[in-house]
Each structure stands twice: as C-alpha cells, then as structure tokens.
Amino acid sequence: MAEPRKKSIFAQRMHKRKERLQKATTVSERKTEKHVFGDRSYIVTGEEAMTIHNENVNKLLSMSEEELLQEREKIVAELDPGIIKFLQSRRNKDERIIADVTMVEDSECGANKCTEDKKAKFNLEELSELKEIAYKYPHMDIVEDDKLKWIGELPKEVKIPKDPYPARFNFEGRLLPFCDKGEGVLQGLHNHGDEQERPGYSLQELIQLSRSSVLQQRVIAINTLANIMANVNNRDSFFCSYLSKLANYIVVLLIYIFCGIFQASNYDECFDTPVLPALLEADTFLLLRFSLDDPAQPVVSAAAAAICNLIVNHLDELCLDILLGTPLGIQQPSFGVALEVSKDDISELKDQELLKLDIIKGALRTDLLTRIKYILVDLSTEPVEIKHLLKTITRIARHSYETADIVFKCPGLLEKVRTLVDKGDEGSYYPEALKLFRILCARSKTFAAIIASDYRVLEAVFSFIAGDKAQRHPETMQLTLESFYTWQTFLNYNIAFESIGQLTPVLLRLLDAHYGLTDISGANSDLEHGTALVSTLSCAAKLKPGVIAQAIPLLLNCTRKWLLQYEQGMSKSSYTLYKWVWL
C-alpha cells in the first residue's frame, strides 16, 4: 500500500493559520460567555464550582433569548424576594471587592508609572490565585471580622470593672488577675471567644471545652478543672505544713473542727459563690462521670483526678492522718449528710437533684464503683490514676456504714485492692489501698473479721512493719505507718491478738533503733514512725501486758533521752513528745 502523500509547505502554513483562527474564535466566544454570564459562579462555592458554572453557561448558550426571558420570569415568580435580593447582594459585593482591588492596582501603577511589566504581571497572578483559593474552599470568600480580631494586638490598658466579673484560671488551676502584660499570649491563655483581652479560661468555657470532639481539648479542659478543684480543696500550703508539725493533738483537733465548720479555702474571699457548689450546680459531676466512660485512656485518667478532687476533702484527710497515734486516732468519723428526706422521696429524686443534696449517694447511683472496679481490673492504669481512684473509694467508705457496706460488697473490688497492697504494677506500692482496708475495718467488727480472714491483710501488715517488703521504696514509711495503725484497728476488736507475741522481738528491735538513732530534732518521718510504734505497744499492752513488759526498760530510756533533749532546748518540734504524754 502506498504511503500517504506529505503536505506541501504552503499547505502546512495554511493549516496552521486555520488553527490559529479557530483558537481566536474560541477565545472570543469564551470572553463573550464570561461577559454575558460571568467568569464564575457567585452562589456555588467549593471544588466543583467552576465545573457546575461551565455546565450552566453551556446550557444557557443553547437557549434562545425568548427562552432565557421566560425562565428568568419563572424563577423570579417562584423564589422569595428576600432570596433574590440576597443573591444579588452576593454578586454586587464580590464585584465591588474586585473593583476596589483594581482601583488600588491602577493607583499604584500610576504612582510607579507602570515602568515594570513583570511587577504588574505578578500582581495579576497573585490576585487570580487569591480568587481561586477563596472559591476553592467553603466560606473562604466571607470576611468574619470577629475572628480576625484574634490575630490582632491586645489592648495595652484594660480597666478593671467595679462590678463582679467572671473568674479565669490558667492550666494549673490558679486564679488569674483581670489582665496581664501580654505574657499569657505565649502560654495559650487568650484562645477563647469572649473577653480575648483577659488571660485564662472561665468555668463555663472549660465545661464547654470538655465536650469537644477533639481529644486533646477534652483532656486539657478536664485536667484544668481537676487542678482548679485541687487548689480549692488544698488550702494554703504554709497552713498545711504548719498543721502537720503541730505538737498538741488537741490543737489539731480544734483546728480540724474549725475547718470542718467554715471550710476555709484559698479562694473564699475571691468569689460570691464558692467554686465547688458552683460546679455541682453546673452538673459537673455527671460530665466527669461520662468522661470516665470515655474509650480514650487520657480522658479517663483526667476524669479520675477530677472526680477525686471534687469528692475528697484533702484537708480532712490530712487532719485525720495527723491524729493517728493519739488515743482518738483510730476512731474514724462519718462524713454523711443528714438529709431531712425520707427514703421514698430520695428514690424519686433525679440524679442531678440527689447529687446537689448528697454527692456520695448521687455518685453511687451512677454506678461509679462498678466503673472504678472495671478501670482497676481491666484497663492499663497509671499509678497516679490508681491513687486517685483509691482515694475516691476511701471517701465513699467514710460517708456512712451504708456506703461502706456497698464498697465492701462490690464484686471483685476488694480483691483487686488486695493485690495493690502487696505490690502494684511496675513495682509500685499503694499505701492508699491499705488505708482503705483500715477505714473499712474501723466501720465494723464484722468487716474487720472478714478482711482478716478472707483477704489476709495482716500478712502484708506484718511484712511492712518488719521491713521485709518495699525496702528503699519512696513510700516505705507511709506503708509502715498504715500497717501500724491497721494492726491497732484489729487489736481494738481483739482480732489477731495472738500475733503480739510473734512480733514482740520486731517491736523491741525497732524501739532499740529509735533509742540509738532518733532525736527530738530529727526528721518528721522518724518521729512519726516512733509515734506509731509506741502507740502500737500501748494498744498491745492492754491485751497482753506480760509480753509487752519487756519493752518497759527501753521505753523509759527513750523517754529520759528525749525529755533531756527537750529540756536542753535541742527540740525544734515537740511533736512526738506531746503525743506520747497522752498515750
């Protein structure tokens, strides 16, 4: 077959000329289309906006002028006049913006005499790129002035109003002043909608942020709420350190009663309404309880800390721990609320209403203990989270005999707590677990007998007292102290009194070590250990005086030594001495 004949040079030139004419005609037609129908859509936005606009233009070009007028009259008759006005305003607004940009460019070109063609081309390309970005992403063509203020500068001077204003806190839960000098910007304290000039976040903003769909925002909000409640609960650090060194336990008891009546807090003088009641009124507990069911472990950990700080009064726990070693120390008070409401009326109350009357009973109604047991048993929890959960359970057990019985009968809960007494995950020990057993034993002799027989708590107690377990662990001393006082609780019920003879050599060895090493001016931990040891000997002497009689010479020698030191003015704290005088 013969090859196709090549075109002559003249034919090739004519073909190229014809193609140029066709392209020019197409471009002119497109310009006409844009001039008549616009180069883009003023209604539709998004990635498909140009495709939809081109399809509409092609359809309009295929219609006659009469058909266009008929369709226009039909649309005007069917649409609401307000919608038509709104659509026209969108087109006029965009054209006005483009006209303003063109006028600015023309004035700049006039000032610079348009000497540089490259610069003019760059501006046009930049403008077209901005248009493309504005209509490529939804709502980018709408200017929101209130959001643009976020990137503006903070006012240099802010007047403090005379009327009360919302409190704002930083992420550590500390109350912030009304305004700052701008350092809060670098700490992320101005990223809120209302009052951008003020640093920190209000309680309402934190509660709203805790419901966010973003995990990190939920964790930050709940952690901040937990820190706020911790700062409200934990009174002045100087006051707490002073209270822990008080010599006379009667003074401690009076201060405890005083604080229990007035509930003095760091923030009492700063608010019209106390913080914790305000949080309860806002149904914060239910929010935290829902967060405890969150599948994300960071949210669960933050919620556990927040619930602990909301329920547990840490000053109460501090005062009761200080009273240990005194004649009244083993006796534990009830923290229940006396409600003048019948049981039938309580059962008819909603969860929100019961929580505002009695937070412990309201919390139990939400199956809090069941969820805590699940977290302890089935989830990989951190030691800090476990401590928060144990403190929460202890506070529930302190409420009343009824709530202690619920804790005692919760399936699988105490079995898990017992494993934490021996040794927790990653080599951690938990004095809070032993304290929970002590509080339950103090509630009832029946509880104490079952705990001694079924849970074998005394085995761990004797190991900690003898120093066989948790040696050189940071919480060894706290474990030993809890062991002494747990044993005393059992001895008060005449439970395991036969163990006195077995542990007498250990007690004498410890007392001899105190005689040789412990001074009145020594560390508080040594004095606490000596107090627990002597109070345990005093409790054991009531049951088996013959066995404990071996310790009397050593006790007399210790007393002479410490009285002499106190007389010579070597004492910086008479903490142990006063306790022993009352034994």
Same domain, 476 and 509: no
Confidence (pLDDT) at 245: 44
Give the C-alpha separation, 237 to 243, whole Å.
10
Same domain, 505 and 476: no
pLDDT at position 248 over 60? no
Higher pLDDT, residue 13 or 364: 364
**Nearest Cα residue to 479 out of 507, 460, 496, 453:** 460
Confidence (pLDDT) at 301: 96
Same domain, 371 and 440: yes
Higher pLDDT, residue 575 or 181: 181
- Give 191-220 as a DSSP string: -SSS-TTS-SB-HHHHHHHTT-SSHHHHHH
Average confidence (pLDDT) over 10-20: 71
**Helix runs in 400-444, H state only:** 401-409, 413-422, 431-443
> Which amino acid type is present at position 182?
G
In a domain, 16, yes or no: no
Average confidence (pLDDT) over 566-581: 55
pLDDT at position 374 over 80? yes
- Domain end among 101, 126, 145: 145
Same domain, 387 and 319: no
pLDDT at position 340 over 50? yes
Average confidence (pLDDT) over 441-464: 93
pLDDT at position 110 over 80? no
pLDDT at position 97 over 70? no
In a domain, 398, yes or no: yes
Higher pLDDT, residue 379 or 78: 379
pLDDT at position 260 over 80? no
pLDDT at position 350 over 60? yes
Give the C-alpha separation, 109 to 104, whole Å.
9
In a domain, 63, yes or no: yes
Confidence (pLDDT) at 267: 66
Same domain, 289 and 396: no
Least confident of 146-155, 288-297, 405-414, 492-501: 146-155
Average confidence (pLDDT) over 233-251: 48
Same domain, 269 and 379: no
pLDDT at position 55 over 50? yes
In a domain, 182, yes or no: no
- Domain end among 481, 510, 543: 481
Confidence (pLDDT) at 69: 83
Same domain, 371 and 477: yes
In a domain, 152, yes or no: no
Work out the pLDDT band at 113, boundaries 50, 70, 90: very low
Same domain, 475 and 372: yes
Confidence (pLDDT) at 344: 80
Task: Note the pTM of the prediction, 2 decimals.
Answer: 0.70
Same domain, 317 and 383: no
The answer to whether the beta carbons of residues 382 and 425 sit under 8 Å apart is no
Q: Categorise residue 563: left if φ over 0, alpha if ψ from -120 to 50, beta otherwise.
A: alpha
pLDDT in tens, 84-94: 777 777 666 55
Average confidence (pLDDT) over 190-218: 85
Average confidence (pLDDT) over 506-515: 90
Domain that holds residue 506: 497-583
Q: Categorise residue 472: left if φ over 0, alpha if ψ from -120 to 50, beta otherwise.
A: left
pLDDT at position 249 over 70? no
Work out the pLDDT band at 38, boundaries 50, 70, 90: low
pLDDT at position 365 over 90? yes
Higher pLDDT, residue 97 or 169: 169
Residues 6 or more apart whose CB falls under 8 angstroms from that of 29 comprise: none
| Counted domains in the chain | 4
Same domain, 514 and 466: no
CA angle at residue 138 from 135 to 143, to 5 degrees? 80
Confidence (pLDDT) at 404: 95
The answer to whether the beta carbons of residues 246 and 188 sit under 8 Å apart is no
> Which amino acid type is present at position 13?
R
- Domain end among 307, 329, 351: 329
Same domain, 374 and 446: yes
Which two structure tokens, joined as six digits, stand for 413? 């809960």
**Nearest Cα residue to 230 out of 305, 122, 336, 340:** 305
In a domain, 269, yes or no: yes
Same domain, 225 and 309: yes
pLDDT at position 343 over 90? no
In a domain, 382, yes or no: yes
Average pLDDT over the chain, rounded to an integer: 78
Confidence (pLDDT) at 165: 80
Least confident of 166-180, 187-201, 319-333: 187-201
What percent of the chain lies above the pLDDT cut of 70? 71
Higher pLDDT, residue 165 or 464: 464
Q: How far apart are the first and last CA of the chain?
A: 126
In a domain, 458, yes or no: yes
Least confident of 291-295, 424-428, 574-578: 574-578
